[in-house]
Structure 1
Amino acid sequence: MAAICVFCASSRTLDQRWLDLATATGVELARRGHTLVSGGGCVGMMGALVEGARSAGGRTIGVIPQALVDLEVADLASDELVITDSMASRKILMVEKSDAFLTLPGGLGTLDELFEVWTTATLALHDKPMVLVDTDGFYRPLVDWLRNLTDQNFLKPAGFDLLRIADTLPAALNLLESHLP
């Protein structure tokens, strides 16, 4: 199957529902036979994600910069843990190791990762599917703003359409899998 990179929050102060979503995502990716590529952390949604995948027998690949390893937030139980010298090199390696991208709710780091892979897709530097999981309308204001970018000609409609959006995890995974080569 595919190596699916999941972007999500690593905050330790999230509501349980977001941790549960991350756990369910990890479990479902493993159940469907996919390898999980993550940011290599063991806290917040990222930690719940990798634990969920492993609990269902899934393979995990973590990519983390040395600075976060030094903060003792690395997922040392990863099947493969790759340590990079920077956040920028982390993103490059995550893109290289992944066949597709799934974005769960998150903050600035999650958005940074999403926009990196989306921007490079609009430049035709990769053609890997990307799906945004808009659980409970979490991303609705952002998606509305992004649609306005298209309306104002700052983003071509074809570029906007590269990011697929689903409101549930099962719908997101089905959509992602339907666009895998």
Structure 2
Amino acid sequence: MPAYTNNPPTRRGITAGLPAYSAGSFPVGQQPARMWVTSLAVAANVVTAGVKMVEGNTPAVGALATVIGTVVAGAPANVTNVAITAISLNAQGVGTITYPATTGNLSTTADGGQVIFFPADVGETTVVQKYLQFALDPAGGYGLTWAWACTAATVALQL
């Protein structure tokens, strides 16, 4: 066996139309979590929704919820990408979630609707290091979209 590597690993290629990550990740293959709304209550602009989990992984506090189709509390209870402040589910997936919404107070009332939690990108703490390199497929064109959310870093992009 030689004392050196004569066949280094190739760089990972980027497939056009699919997200790729140099740092962080996305839960590929994870379906959105979906719940049925069974009731709503509002107190001091905090909505407590009675829910039944029907598919996906149980979301954590802070997960972004999209609530659609509720009627009794009016349109303000239907929200898009609002962080939940609490979640409580039993073994059968029945329980409650709470989230902020500006609307009038309402005692617990039966209602219908859906709550959807879409999988989110998972970021990494920025540290001084090199992240994963990528190679662009020359047959795929030269379009590149770059998303960056950091306040104190220098990024070197070689094209």
TM-score by length of 2: 0.21
Greater radius of gyration (CA) = 2
Higher helix share: 1
- Higher relative contact order, chain-length normalized (CA < 8 Å, sep 6+): 2
Higher strand share: 2
TM-score by length of 1: 0.19
